[in-house]
Amino acid sequence: MFYRRKLLLGTAAIGGALLPFASSIAYSQDADFNSAADGIKGILLDAQKGGLLSDEESTIGPISDEYSALYQITAAIDELESNPSNDPLRDILLDQLYAGLGRLNFSLKSPPAQLDEDEAAPQYTGLKSSYIQLFESCQIPPERKGQVDWHIDRITKPIAIARYRAVEGETGVPWYFIGIVHALEASFNFRGHLHNGDPLDRRTRQVPSGRPRIWNPPSNWESSAIDALRDVGNNSDWSIPRMLYLLEGYNGYGYQYRRLKSPYLWSFSNHFSKGKFVRDGVFDPSAGSKQCGAGVMLKAFKLKNLI
């Protein structure tokens, strides 16, 4: 059975006031999302009261699901990051928001679709024509267009592109490929490993675990991203079908052996509605995906003439 993981936020006294405390954010399948939403809004309101976020009414909207939480957290991080204030509250709030983003990421992302030990990875030559056909026939439903466009806007933000291009310069991997992986693995969190979104303050704990092998120091996102991409950096073919093959491999080829379309590629398109791995080795035919697929993002990039 697929359980939706949700955020729990606690509080801590800071300067005599009660603020949501990021280190007490935790997962629980029984958690009340309304409580989590209230906690997130509390952080944003504290930032407004401290003069660190704009106080327009539209700044803090309703948080009804994971995506509305994602929109609000990333927008607040953007504004706080652009604020040169030396107010210590700014750093406290940023820590809280980044921690919340990291945990929210794991309620959105797809578990690895790993192969069984006796299954070999499929060869690209056998899948190339299928990838071409799927990409050409991929359509984004009108009700998903806003979410897909939001992903493209995040990837193409000048600050984000600068960081993706820095990693491209070290690895040869196109900046937009890096941005797509960043969306799927870390929900655009620059304090999370590109491998799987785990916090940068230690090596990864989830699959793939123990990466980078040498860590802390260094402890910056770029160094982690270079390590995460080492298996694809030697590639010289960055055509659409080849990128789809590499992106599916990033999550795992488990769907190929079930003769299913991977939500990691095709969620938010006409090619996927339900049926996904919900835990390692556990497939739920009725589970949907909360993420925008990599192939769908590539399609949007193409339609916008960005690649």
CB atoms within 10 A of CB 42: 16
Give yes or no for residue 258 having a pLDDT over 80.
yes
Contacts of 178 (CB under 8 A, 6+ apart): 164, 167, 168, 194, 225, 229
The confidence score (pLDDT) of residue 30 equals 35
Backbone angles phi, psi at 180, to 5 degrees: -65, -45
Contact (CB, 8 A) for 286 and 118 = no
The confidence score (pLDDT) of residue 233 equals 82
Give yes or no for residue 87 having a pLDDT over 70.
yes
The confidence score (pLDDT) of residue 157 equals 97
> Which one has a higher pLDDT value, 60 or 146?
146
The confidence score (pLDDT) of residue 32 equals 54
pTM: 0.87
How is residue 232 annotated by DSSP?
T
Three-state helix/strand/coil letters over 40-95: HHHHHHHHHHCCCCCCCHHHCCCCCCHHHHHHHHHHHHHHHHCCCCCCHHHHHHHH
Residue 174 preceded by cis peptide, ω within 30: no
The confidence score (pLDDT) of residue 17 equals 36
- Quick one: residue 212, left, alpha or beta (phi over 0 = left, psi -120 to 50 = alpha)? beta
Give yes or no for residue 69 having a pLDDT over 70.
yes
Backbone angles phi, psi at 103, to 5 degrees: -75, -35
Q: What average pLDDT does the segment 186-205 reach?
A: 95
For the stretch 268-292, pLDDT in tens is 999 999 999 988 888 999 999 999 9
Q: What average pLDDT does the segment 81-106 reach?
A: 87
For the chain, give the mean pLDDT: 85
Report CA dihedral (289, 74, 27, 211) to the nearest 10 degrees: 80
> Which one has a higher pLDDT value, 282 or 61?
282
The confidence score (pLDDT) of residue 166 equals 98
The confidence score (pLDDT) of residue 9 equals 38
* Distance separating alpha carbons of residues 215 and 209, to the nearest angstrom: 13
Mean pLDDT lowest among 26-35, 39-48, 71-80, 110-119:
26-35
Backbone angles phi, psi at 91, to 5 degrees: -65, -35
The confidence score (pLDDT) of residue 27 equals 34
Contacts of 18 (CB under 8 A, 6+ apart): 11, 12
Q: Across-strand partners of 28?
A: 6
Contact (CB, 8 A) for 179 and 162 = no
User: How distant, in Å, are the alpha carbons of 49, 87, 128, 290, 291 from that of 70?
Assistant: 21, 25, 34, 12, 12
> Which one has a higher pLDDT value, 78 or 119?
78
Give yes or no for residue 217 having a pLDDT over 50.
yes
Taking the alpha carbons at both ends of the chain, their separation in whole angstroms is 39
Q: What average pLDDT does the segment 252-265 reach?
A: 94
Q: Across-strand partners of 192?
A: 199
* Distance separating alpha carbons of residues 78 and 143, to the nearest angstrom: 26
The tokens of 224 are what?
A: 């982690």
